[in-house]
Structure 1
C-alpha cells in the first residue's frame, strides 16, 4: 500500500481551510497550523458576507475558476448540510463607457454568463433602493449572491478534521524551509516537523513568514460599514448584491443575511496601508466615513447615512492585483497562495483544490497560467 503523502497547511483562513479539506478528501495526511483558530476576525475572512459572482470586471480568465469553485461550493454544502452561500443575484453598475464596465460586457459575451441588462426605468421600479446616473449600464448576474465567510472557514476546517486532518490552533509558524533532497520543515515555537510538501496560505503575514519572497504583497486596511434602510423592506423585494465601477469612488455592497442591513465597502484605492499585521488599527475615524456617506447619499438614497456597525480587515495586493499561486522558486514542495486582493473568497474552494493538485501531483489541469508563480517576474 502506498504511503500517504504528508502535507502541512500554513494558515486556515479563506484558502487554507479549503486546501485542508481538499487534501484530506484526497487521502493526504494533513496537519494545518493557524496563529489563531479557523474563522477568526483578525485577518481577511470576516465581515459576515462576501460576494460570489460569475461576472468579472477586470479579467475574464477568472471565470473558469469561478465555475470550478461553484461545483465545490455545492459539494461542501452537500457534505456538511450547511448553507454557506445564497444566490440572490448581483448588480453591476457604472458608466457604459468605463473600461471595467466594457470588460463586464465582453466577459459575459465570451463565457455565456446568465445575465440581464436592466434599463434605468426598469431599475427604478424593480430596484428602487439604487440611484444611477444618466449613461450608466446596469447588468444583473443572475447566478451570483453572497457567501458567509466565517461559517465557511469553520465548516471547511471541520470537514477537513472529519476526514482526518489535524489542526494546530494558536500555533504560529515561524519558518517554512525546504529540506535537501526533498520535503519541507515547519518550525513553530515548540517544535520542528517534516512534511513531504507544504501549502502556505499566510494571508497578510506572508511578508513576515517569507521575507525573501521575490514578489511584493502589500497589505491594506479595509473598512466595512453596515447601514439600515430608512423604511422597512418591502415583502418580496429583491435584495441583490451590487458592485459599482467607474466614477470617483468604486464600491460594493451586500445585503445582510438577516435582511435588516446592507454592508458597504470601497475599492482598494481608498484603503490605508498596513505596516504590521499584528498591530492593525481597528478604530475607524470620523473622516474615514466621509467616503461612505457620499456613496449612500448619491447612490443609495434608501439607507440612513449613519452606519450602525463598523469593522476593519486586511487584504493583500500584488503589483498586478493578480494572486500568487504555485511553487516557490527553487522549491516545488512549497506551494504558495497569497495576494488575492479581493478575488479570494468566491474562488476559494477552487484554490484549495488547485493547492491539493500541486502538493500531491505537482501539476493541475485548472487554467492558472495567468496567476501562476511559474515564470512570474519578480517585483
Structure 2
C-alpha cells in the first residue's frame, strides 16, 4: 500500500482531517487538484464567521465548542492567529423560525449572550438600522476566522507530521474493495487501506449516485467602503447575520482598514458543473446586495467595491454528510456543509480521524448520518 489513508480534496475539511490523522500517527496521502488554500471552492474570501449561538440547530453547539478548542490547538501548533473572537450579532424578528432556533440553542446550553432591542441596541451598535419588531442577539463566543491561512496552516502542520500532500493532482477514479481502495490520479494508480472523500462541490463527479443529494451552489461575497472606518473596526463591529424579508445579510468587520464585508447569502444559485463556475458578478447581483446594505447598514457606501465568487455543496436539509457510505467498503465521506461548515472544520476533521481509526466517535453526529441517503 502507498499509505494507510487517502484524502481526496485537501481544502477546508480535508486539511483538518490530514492534520488529525497525521497527528495520530496514521500515514496519509492527500490529493488536491488545485493549490493549497485556493479560492476555487468554499475556503476563500478573507474571513469566515465563527458562531456558537446557532440558528442552524442546537445539535451543533457541542461541536462548535470543541471546534473552538481545536482552533486554539492549531494556532498553538503553528504559531498563527486564525480565530478572533470579537462577538457576533444575529439580528431579526424573534418570532421567526431561525431566531427561535437560535434562542433555543442559547437557552439549552446556557450560552454567554445578551439580547438587545430598541434604543439600547441602536446605541450599542449604531452601524445597524434596527426595525421596531427586531432584536439583536449578541453571541459572546463568536468572531471570525482566516480561511485561507487556516487551510495552509493545517496542511503545513500535517506535512510536518509526515503527511504527503500531492498538489495539482486530479483524482480520476476511486475504486473501493474489501481489501482496500485503489485511486487513479494523474493517470497513476495508488493503493490504500481506506479513503476519505472531502471534495465539496465536486463530490458528485466522483460519486455520481449522490448527484441529486449534493448540489453545488454559487456564493457571491461582497465588500463595501465605510463612511467612517473607525466604526467598523473589530472592537466596535462584531460579525453579524441579518435576516429580513428577502435578505440574509452576513458580514465581518474591516480587516484591511478599507473595506467591510457584507454579503447576501440567501438562496444561492445552483452550479450545474463545478468546473465551469461563473465567477462574474452581474450588475443585478451587485444592485441587490447594495440595496440591502443601504437599508440595513447606513454607515457603508452602498456600492460594492469588491466582489468574489465561491461555491459549496448543499444538501436538501442543509445538514452535511459525515461517515461511511452505504455499500462502499473502506470509504468515508465528508461533504454538503451547505454554507456553514468552515467554523466547525477542525472538529469534523477529528471526527473523520476517529471514524477511520476507531470506527466510532464520541461526538453526536446522528443528524449528519450518510444513511439518510441510503437509497440514493
- State the TM-score, normalizing by the size of structure 2: 0.96
Q: CA deviation at 1:157?
A: 0.5
Match of 1:265 in 2: 263
Change in 2 beyond 3 A, CA 1:231/1:378: same
Q: Residues of 1 paired with 2:235 and 2:4: CA distance?
A: 50
Change in 2 beyond 3 A, CA 1:256/1:197: farther
Match of 2:316 in 1: 319
Please list the CA deviations of residues 150-207 of structure 1 after superposition, one character each: whole Å capped at 9, or x if unmatched: 000000010000000000000011111112x321111112311111111110011111
Q: Residues of 1 paired with 2:211 and 2:128: CA distance?
A: 44
Matching residue within 113, 119, 122 for 2:120: 122
Match of 1:33 in 2: 31
Matching residue within 166, 170, 173 for 1:172: 170
Match of 1:17 in 2: 15
Cα contact 1:178–1:333 (8 A) shared by 2: yes
Q: CA deviation at 1:20?
A: 0.3
CA RMSD of aligned residues (A): 1.7
Matching residue within 268, 279, 282 for 1:282: 279
Match of 2:219 in 1: 222
Match of 1:108 in 2: 106
Query: How many residues align structurally?
Result: 375
Please list the CA deviations of residues 32-69 of structure 1 after superposition, one character each: whole Å capped at 9, or x if unmatched: 00001210011111000000000111211011111111
Please list the CA deviations of residues 103-122 of structure 1 after superposition, one character each: whole Å capped at 9, or x if unmatched: 11111000111111112212
Cα contact 1:12–1:37 (8 A) shared by 2: no
Which 5+ residue runs of structure 1 have no aligned equivalent? none
| 1:210 lines up with 2:212 in the alignment | no
Which 5+ residue runs of structure 2 have no aligned equivalent? none
Of stretches 251-260 and 186-195 in structure 1, the one that deviates more from structure 2 is 251-260
Change in 2 beyond 3 A, CA 1:24/1:51: same
Q: Secondary structure of 1:374's match?
A: helix
Q: Secondary structure of 2:217's match?
A: strand
Q: Secondary structure of 2:204's match?
A: helix
- State the TM-score, normalizing by the size of structure 1: 0.95
Cα contact 1:204–1:277 (8 A) shared by 2: yes
Q: CA deviation at 1:123?
A: 2.1
Q: Secondary structure of 1:355's match?
A: helix
